[in-house]
Amino acid sequence: MGGTTYRTVAGRGKSAFEVRGSEFIGYVAPVDGVEAAESFIEEVRDLHADATHNVPAYRVQDGRTAATEEGAEVAGFVREWSSDDGEPTSSAGKPALNVLQQRDVENVIAVVTRYYGGTNLGVGGLVRAYSRAVTEAVDEAGVVEERPHQRLAIAVEYDDSGTVRGILESEGVEFDAEYGERVDFSVRVPVEESDALCDRLRSATSGRADIEVVA
């Protein structure tokens, strides 16, 4: 995906409204991949375990790239998925996904919770309600331009941990550190900066840093 940018939501967003007695609550969030999207779905399902439906939809970059005949790398693929979660076919998940497509946002998960109010809305009414829930949640979150990122797992001995932490802080990348028998760093870095960072870390630790691309 190189240094190209893409559109995603700026943070978590939420919407809530009622239609003929049914309560709809829309959620959106930025995610790094399918695993994070599925984790968010479970988070909402746990929060609304008593809901009639929790309808998910996501658009996530899957990390693959393709090459042109000239050998140039082109943008990666986007994996799309949705579920009606018990609503009539194509009345819920597809409309939710359509909003994400129309807003041209990627690496984003949407979940719409519905508490049934006793009155059937019909397929048209459901399409409008689920579309509205995602649209208003995206509006509330805001849309930004983002660069493709990847995650690195870096493991070092304690003697090298200060050096690695100092480099990560100087580069301004996001990271977490876990101290056990060794020190494990989970790093989120822009794709186009990843190779240079790995080279710097290996050089500074004389090749002792164990670095793996995990996502």
**What domains lie within the chain, and their CATH numbers?**
6-146 (3.30.230.30), 149-213 (3.30.70.240)
Q: Where are the beta strands (DSSP E) in the chain?
A: 6-9, 13-19, 22-30, 53-61, 66-67, 73-74, 78-82, 108-115, 143-146, 149-156, 174-179, 183-190, 210-213
**Token couple for 201:** 């870390």
In the predicted structure, residue 215 carries a pLDDT above the cut 70: no
In the three-class reduction of DSSP (H, G, I as helix; E, B as strand; rest coil), residue 129 is classed as helix
pTM strictly above 0.75: no
Comparing 145 with 89, the larger pLDDT belongs to 89
Angstrom distance (rounded) from CA 162 to CA 95: 49
In the predicted structure, residue 44 carries a pLDDT above the cut 80: yes
Angstrom distance (rounded) from CA 41 to CA 63: 21
**What is the per-residue pLDDT for 71?**
43
pLDDT digits (tens, 9 = 90+) for 85-121: 999 999 999 999 999 999 999 999 999 999 999 999 9
Confidence label for 2 from pLDDT (cuts 50, 70 and 90): very low
In the predicted structure, residue 7 carries a pLDDT above the cut 60: yes
Angstrom distance (rounded) from CA 143 to CA 37: 18
For tokens 């000239």, the residue is 70
Contact predicate 205/166, CB 8 Å:
no
Confidence label for 65 from pLDDT (cuts 50, 70 and 90): very low
Angstrom distance (rounded) from CA 125 to CA 128: 5
In the predicted structure, residue 72 carries a pLDDT above the cut 50: no
